[in-house]
Amino acid sequence: MTRANLQVETGALAEQVLLEGQRAVAVRYRRDGALLEVRAEREVILAGGAFNSPQLLLLSGIGPAAELRALGIEPRHDLPGVGRNLQDHQSVGALYAARGPITFESQLRFDRLALSALRWQLFGTGPIGDLPVGAQGFFKLDPGAPWPEVQFLVSPVSMQARSWFPGWRKGAGHVFSMANVVLHPRTRGSVTLRSSNPQDPPRILFNLLKAPEDRSTLRAMLRFVRRFFATPPAAELVSHELLPGPALQSDAELDGHLRRAVATAMHPTSTCAMGVDAEAVVDGELKVRGLEGLRVVDASVMPTIVGGNTNAPVIMIAEKAADFIRGREPLPAAVLTSPPGR
């Protein structure tokens, strides 16, 4: 924040990237009711994420021309892939009752939670400083798969966990909760505009569970969870299944649970995908194809979602973009070898 070449403006809503010919030259934004512009000496860089970057491109007339005209937006650059190809890791939960008061629930009693917060504030230690995920793994449901298909996370606390105190309100109870995550989803969605008004949120359609492969993967994960908690030593920690519930056994019954419980891992990507085909939005240097002076630097540029959490990959996208912008030579290619015995 002390850098002379950095200015941060809060409470501002970006409304449009301004073009002169085929070059991005400025950003128009609104703050405190006033419409303002900031000019770019070199480039405009969008980093609004998989929802807001395509939204701003569309509001700027950059996207599928016919759809823009239908909303009363003058097309400035016909780029059909903007907002397409939305991907996220689909996730469904499972719950098991704990065999006794052995979970993180005890630490959520209000007085203990307050003391834990004070301990963290003063010393940076204590249970409140830990993410309550007891175990997680990436693994294959099909031994012949080329890479892990699912991520499995076990938390010694309920998905509805909250602070509690006797006489005030009850806690969520001693349970183990699981998140079961599809790492390579086949389902694709989209981000489109509701209107030409920048203050209207975009229309986000995930199409969750549309691909039958995603449904079959999640069904297999729920059955794996049952085997996991029927096997010692995990079986010694739980008393019975709460969700989806032991009565649900068939594919149709489990699909019903999936439709009720499916969520995302909050890893949206790929709506301004990198590539060379007709649907690609940015090129290999993250420049918007067909335009000058405009890049997108966020998770939206991933052609396909990574098979894991998106935080570290997005940081590396930003590091790579910084090298592109500064004209740095790329690092030499790494030579990867398998560990002995693999």
Active site residues: 267
Cβ atoms < 10 Å from Cβ of 39: 9
Exposure string for 304-319, b = 16+ CB within 10 A, e = fewer: ebbbbebeebbeebee
Token pair 């491109």 in the structure block, residue: 57
Q: What single-letter DSSP state applies at residue 121? A: H
CA angle 236, 239, 242 (to 5 degrees): 130
d(CA 194, CA 204): 10
**202, 221 Cβ separation under 8 angstroms:** no
d(CA 31, CA 309): 34
71-75 LR contacts (CB < 8 Å, sep 24+)? 71/193, 71/195, 71/196, 72/196, 73/193, 73/196
Residue 93, C-beta contacts closer than 8 angstroms, at least 6 positions apart: 159, 177, 178, 179, 180, 243, 261, 263
Helical (H) or strand (E) element with 256: helix 251-261
Going along the chain, which residue ranges are E strands? 12-20, 23-31, 34-39, 44-46, 62-63, 77-78, 84-86, 90-98, 135-139, 150-155, 175-182, 189-192, 203-205, 238-243, 263-264, 294-296
**269, 305 Cβ separation under 8 angstroms:** yes
d(CA 32, CA 96): 50
**218, 149 Cβ separation under 8 angstroms:** no
Q: What's the one-letter identity of residue 267?
A: H
